[in-house]
Amino acid sequence: MPKGYLIAHIRVQDKAAFEEFKALSGPAIEAHGGKVLVRNPAPDHREGAAEGLAVVIEFESLAAAQAFYDSEAYGAARAARETCAETDLVLAEGL
């Protein structure tokens, strides 16, 4: 079965408040079997408008990635993130 991936570019405006998001999102990722593959605050941005912190998280399947995103635990983290950052985020199925 193909893996599922969360791919995000996060533009943080308030680093102190972003720490709350990190504290909430880590356990939610772990609870859903996610594995952070990329967390780069200064990626080599070449094209497009999706700048900022680059994050890639791998899940066992797209359904698992969707369950993580829709979970109550990640919802709380997302609400915290929305107060301090702008985000471009997609869920995608791997090959």
pLDDT digits (tens, 9 = 90+) for 28-46: 999 999 999 999 999 999 9
Residue ranges per domain, the chain?
Answer: 4-42+50-93
CATH architecture for residues 4-42+50-93: 2-Layer Sandwich (3.30)
Span 55-68, average pLDDT: 98
> Which amino acid, 58?
E
Q: In angstroms, how far is the first alpha carbon of the chain from the final one?
A: 9
Q: Write out the DSSP string of 5-44.
A: EEEEEEEES-HHHHHHHHHHHHHHHHHTT-EEEEEESS--
| 12/14 Cα distance (integer angstroms) | 6
User: What per-residue confidence (pLDDT) applies to 50?
Assistant: 86
Span 54-58, average pLDDT: 98
pTM: 0.95
Q: What is the mean pLDDT of the chain?
A: 97
